[in-house]
Amino acid sequence: MLKKILLIIPAMFLILAAIRSLTAQQRPEGRRFGGWRSTFTMQEQPPMPANNEEKKILSVLEDMRLKQSRGMMNVPRQDGRLLRLLAEATNAKHVVEIGTSNGYSSIWFCLALRTTGGKLTTYEINADRASLARKNFKRASVDQIVTLVEGDAHKEVIKLKEPIDVLFIDADKEGYLDYLNKLLPLVRPGGLILAHNMDMQEVQNYIKAVTDDPNLETAFQGRGQGLGVTLKKRRSE
């Protein structure tokens, strides 16, 4: 009996290995959870439009992702969806973006702002990208809620006087700390500061600033430290 069991055990392992191999080959691409023991895979589904207006904006975003992304340093689609989610969840009335590029992340914000009754102020130093962004805003029909400031944001942002609900920084990495220092006083208590490319060496001084300040709470998400999400804490009574 013992000999039969000893013969069966290796065969079972071979069968299980074969099944696992076949399952892995048939499994769709996606994000895997639970370590090597888990077979659960999360498949990212494309955004589902709630109405025709949202459908139009999402179609423009997809066209930009497929045809304009080269050389534009756009955020990944997953991060764009998160930007929209955070802006809408905080009921943002004023989003400030440093680094417009062709307007890809801007339009993700606009998906939220069109429902919150808010507006976007975005800064771009490159004239060609600014021109392309304006065209994209127009074809997505969000140009009425966007103010695009063309020029050096380090100089231009000091002209801002209005409160900020969400600040998004995705421009020159060495300048992140300067943008933070200049705009943090305008971010309302309970507002968010979002910063992209947190896995780059050039932003270490920014990371230190948002993690050492007791008035801020910061978490990182994505591969490495892709997106920094910082809360400006409300004061307790």
In order, the DSSP letters of 102-168 are TSHHHHHHHHHHHHHT-EEEEEE--HHHHHHHHHHHHHTT-GGGEEEEES-HHHHGGG--S-EEEEE
For residue 229, the surrounding DSSP H or E stretch is strand 227-232
Partners of 98 in beta bridges? 123, 169
pTM above 0.85, yes or no: no
Q: How many residues does the chain have?
A: 237
Three-class DSSP category at 169:
strand
pLDDT of residue 43: 65
Contacts of 88 (CB under 8 A, 6+ apart): 111, 112, 115, 116
User: Smallest Cα–Cα separation from 107: which of 58, 46, 148, 71?
Assistant: 58
The encoded tokens of residue 140 equal: 């997505």
For residue 35, give the amino acid letter.
G
pLDDT of residue 72: 83
For residue 192, give the amino acid letter.
L
β-pair type (216-221, 119-124): unpaired
Q: What does each of the 237 residues of the chain score in pLDDT, given as a tens digit?
A: 544 444 444 544 444 444 344 334 333 444 444 444 444 455 678 889 999 999 999 999 999 999 998 888 899 999 999 999 999 999 999 999 999 999 999 999 999 999 999 999 999 999 999 999 999 999 999 999 999 999 999 999 999 999 999 999 999 999 999 999 999 999 999 999 999 999 899 999 999 999 999 999 999 987 655 899 999 999 876
Domains (range + CATH), the chain: 2-42 (no CATH), 52-232 (3.40.50.150)
What CA–CA distances, in Å, run from 20 to 12, 29, 118, 218, 219? Answer: 12, 16, 50, 39, 36
Handedness of CA 45, 50, 56, 60 (dihedral sign): negative
pLDDT of residue 45: 85
The encoded tokens of residue 221 equal: 């998400």
What CA–CA distances, in Å, run from 177 to 67, 125, 203, 215? Answer: 32, 18, 8, 16
pLDDT of residue 225: 54
The dihedral formed by the CA atoms of 89, 94, 100 and 105, expressed in degrees to the nearest 10: 10
pLDDT of residue 82: 95
